[in-house]
Each structure stands twice: as C-alpha cells, then as structure tokens.
Amino acid sequence: MLSKNLTIIGATGFLSTTITRQLVNHGVNVRVIARNPDKAREALPDSVEIVKADVSDEQSLMSALEGTSTLYIHLNTETTDMDLPFYTEREGVANIVKAAKANRVEHIMQIAGIESLHEEFFQNGVIESRVIREAGMQFIKDSGIPYTFFYCSFFADSFVRLVENDSAYLFGELPHETYFTNSLQLADHINQAIQNPKALNQHYPVQGDEAISFPEAARRFFTNYDPKVALETLPIAVINELGLPASEAQFLQQVWEVSGGLKERFVSEKTYWDLGEPQRSIEEFASQLRLG
Ligand SMILES: NC(=O)c1ccc[n+]([C@@H]2O[C@H](COP(=O)([O-])OP(=O)(O)OC[C@H]3O[C@@H](n4cnc5c(N)ncnc54)[C@H](OP(=O)(O)O)[C@@H]3O)[C@@H](O)[C@H]2O)c1
C-alpha cells in the first residue's frame, strides 16, 4: 500500500487538532498549512510538516500548496453578521481553490454541517452562516477538482466546550434524539477517503450509529470524560445574562435554538458502506479523548 499524503488547512482548531492527531496515528503523512506555525508546532505531533500561509493571502497559499495532491479544508464561520467583507469559508476558500488549481491538486475534502444536506431535520431553522460555507463549497465544485464533502451531525467533542467550574450547561428544550458523531469518526472517514476513487464527488452525511437525546448523550459523555462534571439545563434567555459580547451571545442563542429543533433520521448508510462504520461508542470516545 502506497503511503498516504494529506495537506490540512485549519488543523489547529477545536475539532481539527484531534482529527489531525488521529490521521497521523493512521500513518498518514500530514502537512499543515497554518497562519501561526508556532501554535501548530505546539498543538500537533512532531511528524507533521508545518507550512505558514493565511487563507486571506492567495500568494502564500500558492507556495504552501506546492506538491499537494489531496487537501482537507477545516475552517469555521461563527457569526450572525452576514455582511462581512471576508469569511475564511467563502473568500478564503475562493483563494484556496485558485491556488489548488494552479498547483494541480487532485482532490479537495471539506467539513460541513448536516443542515446543508438535510435541512428538513431542522424544525427551528438552521444556523444562518451556513450560506457562507455553502458558497465556498460551490467554488470547489465549480473548479472541476474532484471533491468530498462531509456533512456532520453534532460532535460529541463539543460537550467539553459547555463546561464552566465543573458544571456543563445545556440550554433550552432538547426533546429529540441525535446521531452524535465525533472527531475520531470523522478522521477515520477522511483517512478512508484519501486516494479512494469511490469518495470522489461525494456528499457524505457523518452520523454516529446511535440516536441519543442531548441530555443523555452529555451524561454518558461526562461519566467517561470527567465524572465530577454536573449537568445543568437552563432557559435559552439566560445566555443574554452571561456577560458575553453581544455578537457571541447572539450566535450561541442561535446554536441552541437550532439544536432544540434538530430531529434527525439515520441517513449515513452509504458513508459507512464506502468509508467504514464508527469504531467507538460515545463512552469509548469520551475515554479516548480524556487520554489525549
Ligand atoms: N461543533 C459541531 O458540533 C459541528 C457540527 C457540524 C460541523 N461542524 C463544523 O466544524 C467546523 C469547526 O471546527 P472547529 O471547532 O475545529 O473550528 P475552529 O476551532 O474554529 O478552527 C478553525 C481553524 O481555521 C484556522 N483559520 C482561521 N482563520 C484562518 C486563516 N485566515 N488562515 C488560515 N487558517 C485559519 C484556525 O487557525 P488558528 O488556530 O490560527 O485560529 C483553526 O485551525 C465548522 O466548519 C463547522 O461547520 C461542527
């Protein structure tokens, strides 16, 4: 088996640091394009090659992508302001696509949310900023470079972000069950998609194999990640009293309203068929995440 090479843009993020480590564990030769190479060096395994570039600077991407055949894009858009002049996931991706074409990149993969594939799962509307990401994904499709898009359900990793002083806070009514995925599952799928002709020009939903309610998933996660964390559920309106900057509070409020209306069906048969089944339960994932 030939060794696999992958370039990642956005490897130093909350989910992507774990994804990158898992890809290295799979034996993938990873090159990371980072705007802050020192941060990347600190966060990522020693074997990862790090190249400095910023997605707002097309020239920097031109040289950073030299020699890349497969690229994974992992950026983010956490805002309710739809009138900014630059978004990494739209204008940034346009720059990446130009540099990828110039460098004859053969395959581009990208993370997205399940709302972009199955809007009907969302009874309370969807996160507004998805249109920014979708515009960026359209640039990738229009480039003619074969692509693989991963439309992910809620990541169990995100429970860690809800913790403050040994309590984890959920907001609003969360009556439905979700097929929680996690960063290790996505990394396993990315690994299987590298140099895999089946994965070209595919739109893969990424879901776990078990439907669990938010409170139950959080309880099972923390029992294994950190049992001293207590779970609290608060009304969404409390978000405005947390002292967050207004724009952050607005985004967070939108996230919880949308999450309360998320009612998924299982739609990931083809993903499992092409890229393999999930390898761990939510408990096993939490334990693995705790061990780092
Ligand atoms: N949380 C969930 O449940 C969920 C569900 C479905 C999908 N997702 C998807 O997950 C993604 C977010 O993942 P995350 O939390 O890991 O993201 P994140 O922590 O915000 O990481 C974003 C990455 O982008 C890099 N970046 C930002 N600006 C850049 C620039 N100008 N040039 C180069 N790199 C730049 C960041 O680098 P720095 O480290 O230098 O800032 C970082 O590595 C989103 O696409 C979202 O749709 C999440």
Residue 292 is predicted with a pLDDT of 86
Backbone conformation region of residue 33, classed left if phi is above 0, alpha if psi is from -120 to 50, else beta: beta
HSE, side-chain direction, 13 A CA sphere, residue 260 = 15
Angle 76-80-81 from CA coordinates, rounded to 5°? 100
Per-residue pLDDT of 190-225, as tens digits, reads 999 999 999 999 999 999 999 999 999 999 999 999
- Mutate which of 74, 89, 130 for ligand 1? The one with the most ligand atoms within 8 Å of its CB, which is 74
- Given a contact cutoff of 8 angstroms between Cβ atoms, the answer to whether 70 and 109 are in contact is yes
CATH H-level superfamily of 5-291: NAD(P)-binding Rossmann-like Domain (3.40.50.720)
Q: Which of the four pLDDT bands, split at 50, 70 and 90, describes residue 50?
A: very high
Our mutation pick for probing the ligand 1 site, out of 12, 60, 160, counting the most ligand atoms within 8 A of Cβ, is: 12
pLDDT tens by residue, 223-265 = 999 999 999 999 999 999 989 999 899 999 999 999 999 999 9
CA-closest residue to ligand 1 atom 19: 13
The pLDDT of residue 33 is 98
Residue 60 CA to ligand 1 centre (angstroms): 19
Tens of pLDDT along 84-138? 999 999 999 999 999 999 999 999 999 999 999 999 999 999 998 999 999 999 9
SS (H, E, C) the chain: CCCCEEEEECCCCCCHHHHHHHHHHCCCEEEEEECCHHHHHHHCCCCCEEEECCCCCHHHHHHHCCCCCEEEECCCCCCCCCCCCCCHHHHHHHHHHHHHHHCCCCEEEEEEEHHHCCHHHECCCCCCCHHHHHHHHHHHHHHCCCEEEEEECCEHHHHHHHEECCEEEEECCCCCEECCECHHHHHHHHHHHCCCHHHCCEEEEECCCCCEEHHHHHHHHHHHHCCCCEEEEECHHHHHHCCCCHHHHHHHHHHHHHHHCECCCCCCHHHHHHHCCCCCCHHHHHHHHHHC
Beta bridge partners of 150: 111, 204
State the pLDDT confidence band at 1, using cuts at 50, 70 and 90.
Answer: low
Q: What is the mean pLDDT of the chain?
A: 96
Q: Is 88 in the pocket of ligand 1 (CB under 6 A)?
A: yes
Q: What average pLDDT does range 43-47 have in this prediction?
A: 98
Is residue 205 within 8 A of residue 271, CB to CB? The reply is yes
Tell me: the pLDDT tens digits for 137-147?
Answer: 999 999 999 99
CB 32 within 8 A of CB 65: no
Closest residue to atom 7 of ligand 1, CA basis: 113
For a pLDDT cut of 90, what percent of the chain falls above it? Answer: 96
**Rg of the chain over all Cα atoms, to the nearest angstrom:** 19
- pLDDT, position 2: 76
- Domain positions in the chain: 5-291
Angle of helix 183-193 relative to helix 282-291, nearest 10 degrees? 90
pLDDT in tens, 59-68: 999 999 999 9
